[in-house]
Each structure stands twice: as structure tokens, then as C-alpha cells.
Amino acid sequence: MPFGFYFYDYTYIVLVPALLFALFAQFKVNSTYAKYSKVRNSRGITGAEVARRILDANGLWNVKIIHIAGNLTDNYNPATNTVSLSDSTYSSTSVAAIGVAAHECGHAVQHATGYVPIKIRSAIIPITNIGSSVGVILILVGLIFSAPSLATFGVVLYSAVAVFQAVTLPVEFNASARALKTLKQDFILEEDELPLARKVLSAAALTYVAALLSSIATIFRYLLLINNRRNR
């Protein structure tokens, strides 16, 4: 049987719904951010200023805020205790930028307060890295050399990716909830601005849902390939 069979076959169809949803999610987050990045917050404060204010209010004076290149490349790195804000966030006064900056600070607060899901996510990162690399290799080797058991073990390893992404969902949702609560309680955004920031964060959350669906669809496809191989 030709080697290409494993890469060009009908099982790819199970990936189509997840792919379409991923494209929709990316379009949604880009269009939503573009729309509300044009709406300036009434107080005229920047993403970096909001981030510093939230961090200091939570006693996280040791967490640094740096400016990084890119668009929506914002992140919090617990290893360096750094909130990195992108070009589209750092100096922007838009409600979209304020929402994103507050969200990243939400992750810093999660780590500081020992939020359980983020502890779990951090703990399984090494396993996830192994699963996403070694797991795929074992699957391919098992299929090529007609070793279904080896391929199945590879799927088990690869499943760590889906577990990681499943744990990521509550982490991201909670960071957004913390952000919106802080923006409201600390009067950073006005009442009519909060729904706009919420829309941006809700759109961003779709990308994490898309990632989980994609990994689940990939696992299902691998299992179909293994089952087909067993039946031949």
C-alpha cells in the first residue's frame, strides 16, 4: 500500500468542521479587535497603564510590563514574571487594548493566588510537549509498519494535547472574568465601555475552543486510521 495513503485519505474529512470553526474564530477575534480598537476609552489611559494599575492593586509590584512587537501577541510569562503587551495594546487607549491588558494581568493574579487550573496546566506542559512530538512519531511509525498497538500508544500520548487545551479553557475564561470584574469595580472603564471589552475577550476565547476541537478531531482521525489498518 503506498505511503501516501496515510496522508491523503477520506479520514481528513473529520478535520473539516474543526478547521472551519478555527477559521471563523480567527476571523471573529481579528474583526472584533479591529472594530473596538478604534473606540477610545473615556479616561484616555493606555493598556500599559491599566496593567500596572491592576498588578499594583494586587500587590504584584515585582511583575514587569514590557512592550513587544506584533499584534495580539500579548502574554504573561510566569517564568520571568513579565506581562508582555504588543504594539496594539501597550500604548493604545482603546477599550479593546484595555480588555486585553487586563486579561493578561488576570493570568498574573491567577499564578499569585494559586489558581488550581493554571497549576494543572503548568504541570502537564512537559507531558504535552512529549505527546505532541513523540506521540505523532509513534502513530506514523505504527501505521507504516502495521503496528496498531504502537500507533494507539502514540494516540494516548498525543491526547495530552487535548487535555492541556481542555484545562486551558477555564484558565482563559477565568482570566477574562477577573479582567472584566476589575475593570468595573476599579472604575477603569465606563458602564457603556465594559460590554465592548467583553466582546473582544469573548471573541478571543473562541480561538481556545477551536484549538480544543481541532485536537479532538485529530485524535478521532488517528483512531480511524488505526482501525482501518487493523481491518486490512
Report how far residue 33's alpha carbon sits from residue 96's, in angstroms, rounded to the nearest whole number: 6
The letter for the amino acid at 93 is T
Query: Catalytic site residue 190?
Result: no
Q: Which domain holds residue 30?
A: 3-230
Report how far residue 132's alpha carbon sits from residue 225's, in angstroms, rounded to the nearest whole number: 18
CB atoms within 10 A of CB 226: 21
**At residue 36, does pLDDT exceed 60?**
yes
Report how far residue 207's alpha carbon sits from residue 99's, in angstroms, rounded to the nearest whole number: 16
Residues 6+ apart with CB under 8 A from 153: 138, 142
Q: What is the pLDDT of residue 229?
A: 84
Number of structural domains the chain divides into: 1
Contact of 45 with 98, CB cutoff 8 Å: yes
1 pLDDT band (50/70/90 cuts)? very low
10 compared with 86, residue with greater pLDDT: 86
**At residue 8, does pLDDT exceed 60?**
no
- Mapped onto helix, strand or coil, the DSSP state of residue 65 is strand
Percent of the chain scoring above 90 in pLDDT: 92
2 pLDDT band (50/70/90 cuts)? very low
Residue of 49, 104, 172, 193 marked active site: 104
The C-alpha torsion from 33 through 39 and 43 to 45, rounded to 10°, is: 40
**At residue 3, does pLDDT exceed 80?**
no
Q: What is the pLDDT of residue 176?
A: 98
**At residue 112, does pLDDT exceed 60?**
yes
Contact of 56 with 47, CB cutoff 8 Å: no
**At residue 5, does pLDDT exceed 50?**
no
Name the residue with cell 493570568. 107
Residues 6+ apart with CB under 8 A from 211: 22, 165, 168
Contact of 217 with 15, CB cutoff 8 Å: yes
Contact of 106 with 175, CB cutoff 8 Å: yes
